[in-house]
């Protein structure tokens, strides 16, 4: 296992793929901490996916020589680095097969469907264009050399306000035939949170998508009955959004008022 590379692609164990243990620790945060002063907090202009918000606080700076950590934390938003060829292990094989399979049926090619390929900690993520999601998923499922016949789950992530395309839909695919795992990610704007439904390709996505709608407010177009599943039918708001408070009721205890957890002092 390659554990020391910082920016290069991580080489997964051959064959075991996503099932292999942790590999390739990413050190983007600690490397960036010292280099960015308060004025550089302005977001990096990234064309690819952004997965995190810029962070600031009183404590947490590292590498400045001041061991107390006080002095202001200024971290730019994290953006997963695009992987470069060769990805290593079976990752190249899957990407090649998908490229060939997509070219065969005459639709959009691989680079149009997949904006970015990221290999991190032995897991491969494809950042997918939502227009081509269903076709790509069908190809991944049906192509004899790919055979991602099992969808482990569909879920969402909210990276918080201020992050471009802050909502992400995360699809975990599994190939039981080849014992490989692949993650598809679709980045969405908060005010255009629409994603095509995968139910016609993977029926198991039904409840997963209902949960993602319920928790994040992401609309899965083409879903047979997109209704709330965990919260009551008449609930307002989508609880897993970062803008939705946790609890929100101050606790009174011995005449002292304790703020709800999301308003307490935070060491980010």
Partner 1 sequence: MTTTDPYAASSRETTEGTVYTVTGGDWDEMIDQTAGDERIVINMGPQHPSTHGVLRLVLELQGEVVTDARLVIGYLHTGIEKNCEYRTWTQGVTFVTRADYLAPLFNETAYCLSTERLLGIDVPDRAATIRVLLMEINRIGSHLVALATGGMELGALTGMTNGFREREEVLHLLEFLTGLRMNHAFIRPGGVVQDLPEGHEERIRSFIKVMRERLPGFHKLLTGNRIWRQRLEGVGYLPLDGCLALGVTGPILRSAGLAWDLREVEPYLGYEHYDFEVPTDTAADSFARYVLRVEEMSQSLRIIEQALDRLEPGPVMVEDAKIAWPAKLSIGADGMGNSLDHVRKIMGQSMESLIHHFKLVTEGFKVPPGQAYVPIESPRGELGAHLVSDGGTRPLRVHLRDPSFVNLQAAPAMSEGGMVSDVIAALASLDPVMGGCDR
> Is 2 or 47 the residue whose CB approaches partner 1 more closely?
2
Tokens of 12: 């997964």
Least CB distance to partner 1 at residue 129 (A): 20
Q: What is the DSSP string of 92-148?
A: HHHHHHHHHHHHHTTSS-HHHHEEEEEEETTEEEEEE-GGGHHHHHHHHHH-TTT--
Query: From the CB of residue 103, how many other CB atoms can be counted at a distance below 10 Å?
Result: 12
Least CB distance to partner 1 at residue 137 (A): 13
Least CB distance to partner 1 at residue 241 (A): 10
Least CB distance to partner 1 at residue 14 (A): 14
> Is 86 or 261 the residue whose CB approaches partner 1 more closely?
261
Burial of 10 (0-12, 13-18, 19+ CB in 10 A): buried
Which run of H or E residues covers position 194? strand 194-196
> Is 43 or 121 the residue whose CB approaches partner 1 more closely?
121
> Is 31 or 145 the residue whose CB approaches partner 1 more closely?
31
User: What is the binding site for partner 1 (CB under 8 A)?
Assistant: 3, 16, 18-19, 21-30, 51-53, 55, 59-60, 75, 78, 80, 120-123, 125, 149-153, 155, 157-160, 170, 172, 176, 179, 181, 183, 202-204, 206-208, 211, 215, 228-232, 239-240, 246, 261-262, 266-268
Which residue, among 173, 152, 170, 250, has the nearest Cα to 218 in the 3D structure?
A: 170
> Is 94 or 102 the residue whose CB approaches partner 1 more closely?
94
Q: What is the DSSP string of 84-101?
A: -S---TTHHHHHHHHHHH
Least CB distance to partner 1 at residue 99 (A): 24
């Amino acid at each position: 296992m390659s554990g020391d590379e910082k920016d290069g692609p991580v080489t997964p164990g051959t064959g075991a793929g996503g099932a292999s243990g942790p590999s390739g620790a990413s050190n983007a945060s600690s490397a960036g901490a010292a280099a960015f002063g308060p004025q550089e907090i302005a977001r990096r202009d990234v064309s690819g996916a952004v997965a995190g918000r810029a962070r600031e606080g009183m404590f947490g700076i590292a590498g400045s020589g001041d061991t107390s950590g006080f002095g202001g934390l200024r971290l730019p938003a994290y953006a997963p680095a695009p992987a470069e060829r060769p990805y290593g292990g079976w990752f190249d094989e899957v990407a090649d097969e998908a490229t060939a399979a997509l070219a065969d049926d005459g639709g959009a090619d691989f680079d149009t469907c997949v904006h970015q390929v990221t290999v991190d900690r032995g897991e491969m993520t494809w950042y997918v264009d939502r227009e081509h999601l269903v076709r790509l998923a069908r190809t991944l499922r049906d192509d004899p050399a790919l055979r991602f016949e099992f969808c482990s789950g569909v879920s969402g992530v909210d990276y918080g306000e201020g992050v471009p395309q802050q909502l992400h839909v995360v699809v975990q695919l599994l190939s039981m035939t080849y014992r490989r795992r692949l993650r598809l990610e679709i980045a969405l704007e908060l005010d255009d949170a629409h994603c095509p439904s995968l139910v016609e390709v993977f029926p198991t996505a039904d409840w997963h998508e209902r949960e993602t709608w319920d928790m994040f407010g992401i609309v899965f177009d083409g879903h047979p009955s997109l209704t709330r599943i965990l919260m009551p039918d008449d609930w307002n708001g989508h609880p897993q959004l970062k803008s939705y408070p946790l609890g929100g009721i101050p606790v009174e205890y011995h005449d002292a008022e304790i703020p709800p957890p999301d308003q307490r002092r935070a060491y980010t």
